[in-house]
Amino acid sequence: MYKISLITGDGIGPELSESAVSVINAINDKLGLKFDVTKLSAGDKALKESGKALPDETVDTIKKSDACLKAPVGESAADVIVVLRRILDLYANIRPAKSYPHMPALRDDIDMVIVRENTEDLYTGKEFSLGDSAVALRIISENASKRIAKYAFETAKQRNSMKKVTCVHKSNVMRITDGLFASSCTEVSKNYPDILFEQMYVDACAMNLIRQPEQFDVIVTTNLFGDILSDESSQVVGGLGMAPAANIGDNFALFEPVHGAAFDIAGKNIANPSSFLLSIKMMLDWLGTKNNDSKCLEVGQKLESTIFNLVKTGVKTKDIGGTKSTSEFTQAITNML
């Protein structure tokens, strides 16, 4: 039995969470795994109700669970996810961009993953005013850079792909910070002679993701660049509605859609739950690998192929050119599992 903590979130978060719970119930009922889901509050609603965007009880329950699923959070996102990443030391943010068939997307033949450093860079929120200026501190450490580089090379090693790591930075301008990131990745690359290693400036990478995305296998980059490039890479293959992410540490992991709370479509039953359901697939992979549980890996594959097959036959939500509602799409998945 696996204990799963679920932050239900804001905006489209509750609708996505409902879809996730239906799918997990179907996995329990039909596929012989046992997940016990505890719903938790965090985000704008929690802030309004309890004065805290991330209540202590929520953190305690997450710590006692085997893995956490997090639906998107609204305005208070930084007070929830950035804090959780730090408390739980979830240093690797994994954002796959994989093509699905019949998508209104740029490409249908891409399979890459962005490995984004998740604990430092400009996202630590160390900002202050100085006279009439505003300052943000960008901290890059050798330890964190090497740790994420190692994660990227290990990812490349396990993938059934061209076995290449592209280190993305801007060391020609930010010579000291990105210089350290680049040299740390280069050093780690020496332990992986069978994996191709290349470096690319972030502006060139942004261009190449559109121009020639097939050249990428694993991209490793710093926090801010990874955030931006992964929104771009998701658009190359199928858009934010299809984009899952994992925040992984040595002992714990949290899974969430790449996108935010999407208030413009909240409460309308039209959001694409695939981003969250594919996050469950990433959770199954992580639990399966960690616990040597082949059943988890099997079910993960089954969930992904079910989504893949549905989309292929035209059962799709509006964002990817279909007509199904969130609940209809979810129902189709639970029927097919």
Interface residue with ligand ATP among 65, 119, 155, 275 (CB under 6 A) is 275
Q: How many CA atoms lie within 13 A of 310 on its CB side?
A: 26
Segment lying near Mg ion (by CB under 5 A), choices 115-123, 197-205, 248-256, 259-267 = 259-267
**58 binding ligand ATP? (CB under 6 A):** no
Nearer to ligand ATP, 196 or 240 (CB): 240
Question: In the structure encoding, which two tokens stand for residue 99, read together?
Answer: 């093509």
227 is catalytic: yes
203 is catalytic: yes
Catalytic residue among 30, 39, 150, 231: 231
- Closest distance to ligand ATP from the beta carbon of 74 (Å): 7
The option from ligand ATP, Mg ion, none interacting with 240 (CB < 5 to 8 A, set by class) reads ligand ATP
285 is catalytic: no
Catalytic residue among 227, 281, 285, 316: 227
- Left, alpha or beta for 103 (phi > 0: left; psi -120 to 50: alpha)? beta
Catalytic residue among 123, 178, 285, 324: 123
d(CA 54, CA 57): 9
Fill in the per-residue mask, 220 to 259: x = in contact with ligand ATP (CB under 6 A), - = not in contact. --------------------xx-----------------x
Segment lying near ligand ATP (by CB under 6 A), choices 2-10, 83-91, 111-119, 261-269 = 261-269
Q: How many CB atoms lie within 10 A of CB 64?
A: 10
Closest CA to 138 of 155, 152, 157, 125: 125
**213 binding ligand ATP? (CB under 6 A):** no
Question: In the structure encoding, which two tokens stand for residue 5, read together?
Answer: 């903590």
Interface residue with ligand ATP among 23, 185, 202, 261 (CB under 6 A) is 261
Angle between helices 13-31 and 326-336 (to 10 degrees): 10
- Say if CB 128 and CB 135 are below 8 A apart: yes
The option from ligand ATP, Mg ion, none interacting with 120 (CB < 5 to 8 A, set by class) reads none
Close Cβ partners of 37 (under 8 Å, ≥ 6 residues apart): 4, 5, 6, 21, 24, 69
Binding to ligand ATP, residues 307-336 (CB under 6 A)? 319
Residue 74, helix vs strand vs coil: coil
Closest CA to 243 of 195, 42, 211, 235: 235
Which residues are at the interface with Mg ion (CB under 5 A)? 260
Q: Which residues are catalytic?
A: 123, 170, 203, 227, 231
